[in-house]
A and B are shown apart, each in its own frame.
Chain A
Amino acid sequence: MRHKTFLWFFLPTGLAMLLFIAMPIVSIVTQSIFAPHPAVLLEVESCTPLIGCTTETTIDQEATAALREAQPLGRFVGLGIYFDRGHLAIQEISQMWASNETWDGFFSELGNLPFYRAMAFTLTFTFIVTPLTILLGLVIALAVNSLHRHLKGLMIFFSLLPMIVTPLIGSLILFWMIDSRGVIGNALVYMAGDPNFSLKASTGLMWVALMVYGVWSSAPFAFVVFYAGLQTLPQDQIEAAQIDGATRWQQVKFVVVPHLMPLVTFVALIQLMDNFKVLEPIIGFSAGAHAQSLSTFILNDMSGETRQLSSAAATSVMTIIGVAILLSPVLVRTWRDFKGAR
């Protein structure tokens, strides 16, 4: 295909991605290094006879507007927003470092900084949910694969539901069930033997609940991919392994899992990317008090009365850097394959 023809075919989609994915990235980088102008204040001394003089501070609307007109981006603050208390908190960290003798003390104080708390939850969520999803998906795939033909279709249908359903809706459905008045919550109260037991009161349990939701909603994806992989399993290799006296467990370990390995990499990649973006379950579970992720951190900055766009932009940039770090092994591998292919 000639360059020119290619250009015309690719132009609409390329333009859409350029304008609404590439440009916003530029936009958040600029927003994150500029802070909005503070209002220009004017001190007016007004004297009235008998009462005396008072100084009033008023906003000089004209000067403020003029300043905003002159520099519409705001004032340049460099990396200031990244290092402030709401984000990386460099100053606070160095103070904590100096004042704490032990690692424990340092980490417990670090937990008070909102950005690090969000970071901790996001990373914990990503690196616990992803392996569990893969494991559960694999076990379901093996179990369903041994079912009777007619049952398989039915199982796939119901297995797809947790994945297909809107994340916010899925998390709400689970949340209502684990509510202390809901059916699972009731059962937990009964098992704990404490009538005041509630998942919502404990940070640790809330984290567990969020992760259970994460595994529940993405295991079907892993299951479907692995199940498809099992259909192309070479039977002769299984038979050869049996002749060599491999037990069932050894067959799975040495034949099935290596056969599925490329798919495991694929699922792991997709899941790492998606889990890092975790947003809806925290909102659905109303878990904001116990767990914040990088995404909810951005959302909170943007909504609310005062839209702190610069702060949201700085977090966004750091989230994107996080995604880039997660993706880098894949990109390096693809690059090597590409070089090798030429």
Chain B
Amino acid sequence: MASRAQRMPKSLRIASSLFVLLWFFLAAFPFFWTVWGSFKVELDFFSIADWTNALTGARTEAVYGSPFTTTGYEGAWIQEEFWRNVLNTGIVCFFVVTISLTIGTLGGYALSRSTYNYTFWLLITALIFRAMPPIALVSGYLLPFFEWNIWGILPTTIIVLVAINQPFTLWMLHSFFKNIPSELDESAKVDGCNQFQAFRRVIIPVMWPGVITTGLFSFLLAYNDFAVGAMLLSESNRTMVPAIAAFLGTTQTEGNVMFAVAAVVSATVPLFILVMFFQRQIVGGLTAGAVKG
């Protein structure tokens, strides 16, 4: 496809390939390194004597008779009961995605179909809300939540995450619904549907690609949240990320850093799988906002 004039000179092509290789290394290496190291003992993962120990697992072999050990994972999942946190994250993510998509599609659809000025103001307000640091909002929640005695439980966190998620969901679904021609639901209304019936019978069947993309980002927000979970959940209800943060305080004193390493790797795996299967939707979602802006 490239004409001869557009073809790169050799030196530039080599430089560019080297740069890509360097970036590939920077982006991927830390993950592989940590996954590999999570099956070692601490003295190998953090080795003062010889860094190649982290690759060969010399100390691990001396202790367990094999260069790989799953003691880190056992410690994290069984001894520290990390599975509880995984379960909590699962519950939080499921409800956050379902609720925020349900109310977000209704709102986003309404914003895309109304022709009045207030839709502009609502979208601008949502943009401002999107910029609010969650931690600043959390400091506003604590006092009322203590007062009403709803601090520390999962439903509170779910509702808060849904609300924090709404501005982004609205923007994304708004621009998505804008691309569905309004003649579709107009004609349904001519045939005697009211607005809601038109939405249900005509729009819902064709909206899934946009909803899936938005859902992915809702999931990531709920999964990656630290500020809300750390401040609003009691210790027994913690989700994964705040639990890992809490691990750091307790395990480092007991010399069990490998528990934290194993927990970190465990928490990364679902994201890895997510990117593998939904790469196109994620890229599409990231650029959808950009095309609008």
Q: Could you tell me which A residues sit within 8 Å of B by CB distance?
A: 1-3, 5-6, 8-10, 12-14, 16-17, 19-28, 31, 139-140, 142-144, 146-147, 153, 155-162, 164-169, 172-174, 176-177, 179, 181-183, 186-187, 216, 220-221, 224-225, 228-229, 238-239, 242, 248, 262-263, 265-267, 269-270, 273, 276-277, 279-280, 283, 286, 294-295, 298-299, 301-303, 307, 309, 312-313, 315-317, 319-320, 323-324, 326-327, 331, 334, 338
Contacts and interface: CB of A to CB of B under 8 A. Distances in A.
Identify whether the interface residues of B are mostly helix, strand, loop, or mixed.
Answer: helix
**Chain A, interface SS category:** helix
B138 interface: yes
A251 to B, nearest CB: 9
Contacts of A273: 130-131
28 contacts: A9-B196, A10-B107, A12-B103, A14-B107, A20-B163, A25-B137, A28-B137, A143-B17, A146-B16, A156-B283, A159-B24, A160-B282, A160-B283, A164-B220, A165-B31, A165-B271, A172-B248, A176-B37, A176-B261, A228-B283, A228-B291, A267-B290, A273-B130, A283-B245, A316-B135, A316-B137, A327-B131, A331-B124
Contacts of A161: 27-28, 31, 271-272, 275
A38 to B, nearest CB: 18
Given A24-B137, A286-B248, A307-B142, A323 B30 contact: no
A273 B168 CA distance: 13
B135 to A, nearest CB: 5
Nearest to B161: A20
B143 A31 contact: yes
B87 interface: no
A21 B164 contact: yes
B139 A28 contact: yes
Given A179-B46, A273-B131, A3 B227 contact: no
Interface of B: 3, 5-6, 8, 12-13, 16-17, 19-20, 23-24, 26-28, 30-31, 33-34, 37, 45-48, 51, 54, 102-104, 106-107, 109-111, 113-116, 120, 122, 124-144, 159-160, 162-164, 166-167, 169-170, 194-196, 199, 220, 223-224, 226-227, 230-231, 241, 244-245, 248, 257, 260-261, 264, 267-268, 271-272, 274-276, 279, 282-283, 286-287, 289-291, 293
Given A164-B274, A165-B268, A181 B46 contact: yes
Contacts of B142: 302, 307, 309
The 4 closest A-B pairs by CB, nearest first: A24-B140, A20-B163, A9-B110, A13-B107
